[in-house]
Each structure stands twice: as structure tokens, then as C-alpha cells.
Amino acid sequence: MRMVSEEKSLIYEVRAQNGDNVHAFGARRTYGEASILLTESRDRVAEAGGQNDRYWIEEIDTTGLFNIPSRPTPRQRYSTRVQEKQSAPGTWTTVHVEILDGTRVVGEYDRNYRMLQTFEPFRQGDRDFALISTDYTATSVMDLGDGQIIAKEEPGASGFCPVGFYVPDWWDIHSERELPGSMYWTKDNEWPQGDFGFVWGCIWGDDSSWKVQYLDLSSIHDGILRREERFGYVPLAIPGYLPPVYVRREPRDFIRCWSEQGVAHVEFSVSQTYNLASGRLLPAKDWD
């Protein structure tokens, strides 16, 4: 969903011209901040032995353009309170989870396994959701507006067991170094918008490493959640992880996303095993 600003707004971009070439040093939200940037930019060019014919501050009306998502991000705003439930000896740990918006409980559910990192709040437009896992073999989506589960996978004995989720937020990939309406702003700067994510974990019983799969979140309003093994059976190289011990890590340590000229990319930190004698790359499960 494209987010637009309804009120008139301005930004101020520092520009310079050298001959027929015009370039920009960046934009700021106030004229005063842009004036400071202009002075700094002129000084840096002079110190480097360069020159421009002129410098100025361009006033740009950004009314109706893309509106940078607010902060705090959903990941910073929402948290969980997890309470372990009493379990019979020799059985798995189960938990009761409360989702908090500050101190207010906005949703709760039971999970039939340890919590791990199976809570990822995210936004689509002006609505907040969360990836959760009530069953150790299935992924679900909760609407944080009313605490209802609106999309889910059916549990299965051979299903993909979520260990963690990641939905890239705008602030995970961008900063305010470029502002809507500025010279170098492109559609790539308006991506992502919360319509996809990732789950890492394993097929039940295969916990030699964590694998990663794609989550299509574009139709969750219609109750549809799609999971795809579109990257193959890729084992992640997660710092500090030694199977079967679980160590919490931030997903940006091993998943990096960006968009370039309208094409979205993802880069994973992956683990690869080779035959030492031949140099042959071994498949993820081939330890012979």
C-alpha cells in the first residue's frame, strides 16, 4: 500500500552546479538544517581541492509523495511477555505469550514449544500485524489491532518448524539521508512495504542447521499466507549457532535485502561444506 502525506510539506535540498552538471549533497527537513549542510558541503569540496560554480538550497514541495514510515518501528514498539507452562516430566516446554504495546496487552496465545524468536511485528500501510507460531510446525499472522489470528498454516508432523521470523521494515534498509522529492530519490527508496518476509528453522527432525524460506504476506487480509522454498534447501550461517543449541541473533546479521532499479534482492549468510580432498561442494545433507 502506498502511503501519502495529506498535508503540504517541504524539504530543502543542498545543490551545486559545475558547468552544466547539477548534483545534490542531501536534503533536510528544515531550512536551518539545510543551511548547515550547505556550509559543510562547501567546506568539504574546498578542502578536497574542488570547486563548484554555485551552491544553493532548493525548496521542494513533497505534498502527496511517499511518506517515510514513522518511528518507533513495530519491532521497537511491540514486545512479548512469555510465561512457561507446567509440563509433565519428559515433555516439551510450552509457553503462554502476551503481546504488549508498551504496557497494554493487545493479544495473547499459547505455543506448544519454546518461544525461540517466533514473534515478528510488522506493518502494511497503517495496520500492524505479527508473525507468530502457536504450533511448532506452523506459521500464523495476528492482527495487532484486535489480537485475532487472520492467516495461518495448518500444523503437520513433517512441517517446517519456525525458529525465527524476519519482515524487513523500511528502517532496516534505509535512512533519512535521502528524502522523498530529493534529486536521488527513486521507487527503490519506497520499498519494502511489509508484503513479504522470511522464516528460518528446519523440517521436523533435521536440526543440523537452520534453513530459510520465503513468506508471501501480500494476501494476509484475505486470510492467505504462503510459504515457499524458493531459494532451495539453504543452510544459514548464523553467528554463534552450534546445533542443537539455540542462540538468539538478529536476522539482519544473516539476511540483507535491497532494491535496485526496481529489482528486489536478498543476500543470505550461508554455510557451505566441501570435500577437502576434491574441493567438491557437498549438498547441505551430504556429510559422506
In a domain, 170, yes or no: yes
Instruction: Examine the domain organization and report whether 121 and 193 are in the same domain.
Output: yes
Q: Which residue has the cell 543470505?
A: 268
Q: How much is the pLDDT for 286?
A: 46
In a domain, 66, yes or no: no
1: which DSSP letter? -
Instruction: Examine the domain organization and report whether 102 and 167 are in the same domain.
Output: yes
Residue 148 phi, psi (nearest 5): -95, 140
Which among 78, 148, 162 is positioned nearest to 117, based on CA atoms? Answer: 162
Range of the domain at 127: 74-274
pLDDT of 185 over the 90 cut: yes
Which among 182, 200, 199, 174 is positioned nearest to 257, based on CA atoms? Answer: 174
pLDDT of 242 over the 80 cut: no
Instruction: Examine the domain organization and report whether 113 and 25 are in the same domain.
Output: no
Q: How much is the pLDDT for 239?
A: 66
Three cell numbers at 191? Answer: 520499498
pLDDT band at 2 (very low <50, low <70, confident <90, very high): very low
pLDDT band at 4 (very low <50, low <70, confident <90, very high): very low
Three cell numbers at 144? Answer: 495487532
pLDDT tens per residue, range 149-184: 999 999 988 789 999 999 999 999 999 888 999 999
Per mean pLDDT, which range of 228-237, 241-250, 254-263 is the poorest? 241-250
pLDDT tens per residue, range 37-96: 999 999 999 999 999 999 999 999 999 999 999 999 999 999 999 999 877 777 888 999
In a domain, 204, yes or no: yes
pLDDT band at 232 (very low <50, low <70, confident <90, very high): confident
Q: How much is the pLDDT for 245?
A: 63
Instruction: Examine the domain organization and report whether 33 and 79 are in the same domain.
Output: no
pLDDT of 117 over the 90 cut: yes
In a domain, 287, yes or no: no
Q: Which residue has the cell 515457499?
A: 228
In a domain, 226, yes or no: yes
Three cell numbers at 270? Answer: 550461508
Q: How much is the pLDDT for 5?
A: 44
In a domain, 283, yes or no: no
Q: How much is the pLDDT for 273?
A: 87
Instruction: Examine the domain organization and report whether 79 and 130 are in the same domain.
Output: yes
- How many domains does the structure of the chain reveal? 2
Contact criterion met (CB below 8 Å) for 212 and 231: yes
- The predicted model scores a pTM of 0.89
Instruction: Examine the domain organization and report whether 82 and 43 are in the same domain.
Output: no
Mean pLDDT of 109-121: 96
pLDDT band at 233 (very low <50, low <70, confident <90, very high): confident
